[in-house]
Amino acid sequence: MKTVAVTGASRGIGLAIAEHFLASGWKVHCLARTESAVAPLLAKGHAHFVSFDAASAESVLAAAKTVLAAGDTLDALVNNAGIALSAPLAKTSTEDFLRIQAVNVTAPFLLTRELLPALVKAKGRVVNICSTAAKKGFKYTAAYCTSKHALLGMTRALAVELANKHVTVNAVSPGWTDTDMLAASIEKIAGSTGRSANDARAALESMNPMGRAVKPDEVASLVHFLCDSAAGAAITGADYTIDGGETV
């Protein structure tokens, strides 16, 4: 049985990714802050909870030890957990900036480093969930864009470094996706501009030429392809944008 570790598995894109792997018969280490948050997954097939707080380096290292202690060959790692902040530079505190880097960059770096021996043994796959914010700049998101550009850079560097070990490292960069992060952005726009929630959502969705948000299941299908297809063994250092044409 193949095994994958998925961070941020309790909701949104991470939840959809975990569900895809479980449906395909994989064992899934569901990395999340609380066991209750992944309870629906634990009732499905071979899902296992691993305590994980991406903002804490100690928690990330402990989670890696838990995964390795399970004794499984680790066929894939999906670094999905992430946070966002929308604020002008002048109102972005140092603490907020550092927390975003800790969650979006340092946690994937540490987890990949610690799990690398198991991934090398399995000739495994690493997929980092980036963002269209790794490809261009957006106003009021300097901290978030910085983190996602860094994660994409790390993806490319590791792809080259690990190619001779037959470990692939790729990025998936969604546009606006129908998750809690989108809901929070809608709420903030509505609160700061006086628009209705529907108008705020329409404004965000209009950035996508398809006129809609990306679905978490669509992102999950792409991640699954990179980890579970024959083609995935020869794809490395790639950044797959899934944004309905937003960045074309």
pLDDT per residue over 214-235, tens digit each?
899 999 999 999 999 999 999 9
pLDDT above 80 for 168: yes
For the chain, what percent of residues have pLDDT higher than 90? Answer: 80
pLDDT at 171: 98
Distance, CA of 64 to CA of 66 (rounded, Å): 5
Active site residue 240: no
DSSP 144: H
CATH of 3-175+215-241, one of 3.40.225.10, 2.130.10.10, 3.40.50.2020, 3.40.50.720: 3.40.50.720
User: Domain locations in the chain?
Assistant: 3-175+215-241, 176-213
pLDDT at 186: 67
Instruction: State what percent of residues in the chain have pLDDT above 70.
Output: 96
Catalytic site residue from 144, 171, 179, 213: 144
Q: How far apart (Å, rounded) are the C-alpha atoms in residues 51 and 73?
A: 19
